[in-house]
């Protein structure tokens, strides 16, 4: 109830800013860094900005508000932010651009201190727990003409009913939980996003129903650790009034699978240690749940996994994969891998290559270990030299690419169900879509197909995409 009142208050600020903006043709630009959760937060920021009378521009130089939604999972985002802030100084002097920075990086004291010292012309700094207060912060920045700093160190609550402007009208993301309690020793997320807390089933289901009504075909459920959905609430004996049968991630999947109109359900990211049998069974039996599962590995070596605080061994990961493959027909897997974690030896790194060879992932997101201030990994003394990290990265990349090439071959000649997403970025004449296993397929066809799931025959493979063609007559359709 309390949160509802807080959102009502923000809606009043939205009205006030809208009044200020009347007939002024105000524009905003937003730069989003990082993961899909951040993208989803940005959609909420865009929703608020549009209700306040701003329209979006892709050109930061012509924007009246330049907004940054930051990520701090790896180091490179910091350099990017500071570079952009430097560039904006002159533009701000000329046209008074309001500069607002939010997101994970703003939960780090050393970063906000640097912004205040080196980029004092920044107008608004807000964190992950105060995103819903952006209208108030903006109103005050305009009225009081002084910097607003709105950062909470304690865990934020869950706020429903924020305006939202989604990036696509075919695929939508739905955040089901915030925060993380796992404290993997390399990861900053638990420090900047706070403790794990799940959204109420009713709020999620109503959001998905609304999305389905608007004509969306695919949804992605988001959380740092989706398969422990409602775990903390259960431990605390918190019960929700409606949808009592939804009491876990598996039961949530089953309930969402019933929603008419939605044709594909994806989710990121689950944790291997929480991949219980009921989740495997739900994936196998829910026809709409895509059979590509993202299962972050991080390392294939048991000792490194222990140091990473991942709570599974190489063998447990491989056994889980075997179990999943046995129970879920046509299962494909993608993963995240970090190379060069402190103390990782060449031999231990070989275990990672071994798991990659055995599992044959559909896609691998590869990262070079990046020291994050405040994490246990940063305090470890046996940091790996940059050169070694890069060598290992290149070795992994070469293996992954050769496997992807080999794996792509299996698609050629098959029929795939493809959700058509739009025209290809590189060629307006061609359409682009994705298979159930998230492979990009480029093909020739009428724009009326956009937004539909259609059958395509795969004619060739090209490393990062497949080429396909429409069925014209009575050709035979072969799936795998
Ligand atoms: N260094 C490199 N990669 C990291 N990730 C998380 N923290 C770090 C770090 N400090 C990667 C993990 C995670 C993904 C989102 O980012 O692989 O799954
Ligand atoms: Fe980070 Fe581990 Fe939590 Fe994922 S599960 S957000 S890697 S601490």
- Over residues 94-137, the pLDDT tens digits come to 999 999 999 999 999 999 999 999 999 999 999 999 999 999 99
Q: Indicate whether residue 187 lines ligand 1 (CB < 6 A).
A: yes
Out of 13-27, 40-54, 143-157, 391-405, least confident range: 143-157
**pLDDT value of position 426:** 87
Please give the average per-residue pLDDT across 285-289, as a whole number.
98
Q: Model pTM greater than 0.85?
A: yes
Can you tell me whether residue 39 is helix, strand or coil? helix
Question: Which two three-digit tokens encode residue 112?
Answer: 């906000």
Q: Indicate whether residue 296 lines ligand 1 (CB < 6 A).
A: yes
Q: Indicate whether residue 180 lines ligand 2 (CB < 6 A).
A: yes
- Alpha-carbon span 149 to 153, nearest angstrom: 13
Q: Indicate whether residue 229 lines ligand 1 (CB < 6 A).
A: no
- Measure 179 CA to ligand 2 centroid, in angstroms: 9
**pLDDT value of position 153:** 87
**pLDDT value of position 446:** 95
Looking from the CA of residue 193, the nearest atom of ligand 2 is 6
**Could you read off the pLDDT of 176-208 as tens digits, one per residue?**
999 999 999 999 999 999 999 999 999 999 999
Locus of tokens 């959905």: 229
**pLDDT value of position 84:** 96
Pocket test for ligand 2, best of 107, 178, 190, 232 (most atoms within 8 A of CB): 190
Q: What is the phi-psi region of residue 464: left when phi exceeds 0, alpha when psi lies from -120 to 50, beta otherwise?
A: alpha
Looking from the CA of residue 187, the nearest atom of ligand 1 is 7
**pLDDT value of position 328:** 98
**pLDDT value of position 267:** 98
Q: Running DSSP on this structure, what letter comes out for residue 111?
A: H
Q: Indicate whether residue 73 lines ligand 1 (CB < 6 A).
A: yes
- Alpha-carbon span 464 to 363, nearest angstrom: 10
**pLDDT value of position 477:** 72
Q: Indicate whether residue 443 lines ligand 1 (CB < 6 A).
A: no
Q: Indicate whether residue 121 lines ligand 2 (CB < 6 A).
A: no
Q: Provide, rounded to the nearest whole percent, the portion of the chain with pLDDT above 70.
A: 99
Q: Indicate whether residue 183 lines ligand 2 (CB < 6 A).
A: yes
Q: Indicate whether residue 297 lines ligand 2 (CB < 6 A).
A: no
Residue 345, CA atoms < 13 Å, CB-side half-sphere: 4
**pLDDT value of position 278:** 98
**Could you read off the pLDDT of 206-222 as tens digits, one per residue?**
999 999 999 999 999 99
- Measure 128 CA to ligand 2 centroid, in angstroms: 16
Asked whether the predicted pLDDT for residue 478 surpasses 90, the reply is no
Beta bridge partners of 171: 218
Confidence category of residue 474, pLDDT binned at 50, 70, 90: low
- Measure 368 CA to ligand 1 centroid, in angstroms: 8
- Measure 113 CA to ligand 1 centroid, in angstroms: 24
Asked whether the predicted pLDDT for residue 387 surpasses 70, the reply is yes
* Nearest ligand, CA 223: 2
Confidence category of residue 239, pLDDT binned at 50, 70, 90: confident
Asked whether the predicted pLDDT for residue 473 surpasses 80, the reply is no
Confidence category of residue 431, pLDDT binned at 50, 70, 90: very high
Residue 428 burial (10 A CB sphere; 0-12, 13-18, 19+): exposed
Please give the average per-residue pLDDT across 227-254, as a whole number.
94
Q: Indicate whether residue 271 lines ligand 2 (CB < 6 A).
A: yes
Pocket test for ligand 1, best of 334, 336, 340 (most atoms within 8 A of CB): 336
- List the one residue out of 190, 191, 192 whose CA is nearest residue 180: 190
Q: Provide, rounded to the nearest whole percent, the portion of the chain with pLDDT above 90.
A: 94
Please give the average per-residue pLDDT across 308-333, as a whole number.
98
* Nearest ligand, CA 371: 1
- Measure 5 CA to ligand 1 centroid, in angstroms: 37
Looking from the CA of residue 188, the nearest atom of ligand 1 is 7
Task: Kindly report the protein residue whose alpha carbon is nearest to atom 14 of ligand 1.
Answer: 336
Report the 10 Å Cβ neighbour count for 124: 21
- List the one residue out of 269, 258, 220, 250 whose CA is nearest residue 434: 220
Please give the average per-residue pLDDT across 412-441, as a whole number.
96
């Amino acid at each position: 109830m309390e949160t509802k009142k807080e959102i009502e208050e923000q809606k009043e600020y939205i009205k006030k800013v809208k009044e200020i903006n009347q007939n002024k043709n105000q524009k905003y630009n937003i730069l989003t860094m990082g993961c899909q959760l951040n993208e989803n937060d940005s959609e909420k920021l865009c929703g608020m900005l549009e209700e306040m009378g701003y329209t979006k521009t892709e050109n930061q130089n012509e924007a009246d508000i330049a907004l940054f939604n930051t990520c701090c999972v790896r180091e490179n985002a910091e350099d990017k932010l500071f570079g952009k802030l430097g560039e904006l100084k002159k533009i701000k002097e000329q046209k008074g651009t309001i500069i607002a920075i939010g997101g994970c990086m703003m939960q780090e004291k050393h970063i906000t201190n640097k912004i205040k010292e080196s980029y004092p012309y920044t107008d608004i700094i807000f964190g992950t727990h105060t995103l819903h207060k952006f209208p108030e912060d903006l109103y005050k920045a305009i009225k009081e003409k002084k910097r607003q700093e709105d950062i909470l160190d304690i865990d934020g609550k869950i706020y429903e009913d924020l305006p939202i402007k989604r990036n696509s009208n075919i695929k939508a993301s739905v955040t089901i939980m915030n925060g993380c309690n796992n404290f993997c020793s390399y990861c900053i997320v638990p420090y900047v996003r706070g403790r794990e807390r799940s959204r109420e089933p009713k709020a999620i289901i109503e959001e998905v129903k609304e999305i389905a009504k608007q004509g969306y075909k695919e949804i992605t459920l988001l959380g740092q650790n989706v398969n422990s959905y409602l775990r903390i609430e259960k431990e605390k004996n918190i019960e929700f009034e409606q949808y009592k049968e939804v009491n876990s991630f598996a039961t949530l999947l089953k309930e969402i699978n019933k929603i008419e109109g939605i044709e594909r359900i994806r989710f990121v990211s689950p944790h291997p240690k929480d991949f219980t049998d009921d989740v495997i069974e739900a994936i196998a039996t829910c026809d709409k749940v895509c059979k590509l599962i993202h299962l972050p590995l991080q390392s294939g070596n048991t000792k490194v996994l222990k140091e990473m605080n991942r709570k599974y061994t190489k063998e447990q990961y491989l056994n889980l994969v075997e179990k999943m493959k046995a129970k879920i027909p046509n299962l494909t897997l993608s993963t995240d891998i970090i190379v060069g974690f402190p103390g990782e030896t060449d031999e231990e790194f070989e275990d990672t290559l071994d798991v990659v060879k055995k599992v044959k992932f559909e896609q691998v997101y590869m990262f070079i270990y990046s020291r994050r201030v405040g994490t246990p990994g940063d305090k470890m003394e046996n940091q790996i030299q940059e050169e070694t990290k890069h060598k290992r990265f290149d070795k992994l990349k070469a293996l992954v690419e050769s496997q992807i090439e080999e794996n792509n071959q299996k698609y050629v000649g098959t029929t795939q169900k493809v959700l058509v997403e739009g025209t290809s970025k590189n060629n307006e004449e061609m359409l682009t879509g994705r298979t159930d296993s998230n492979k990009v397929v480029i093909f020739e066809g009428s724009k009326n197909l956009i937004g539909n799931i259609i059958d395509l025959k795969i004619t060739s493979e090209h490393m990062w995409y497949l080429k396909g063609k429409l069925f014209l007559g009575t050709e035979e359709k072969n799936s795998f």
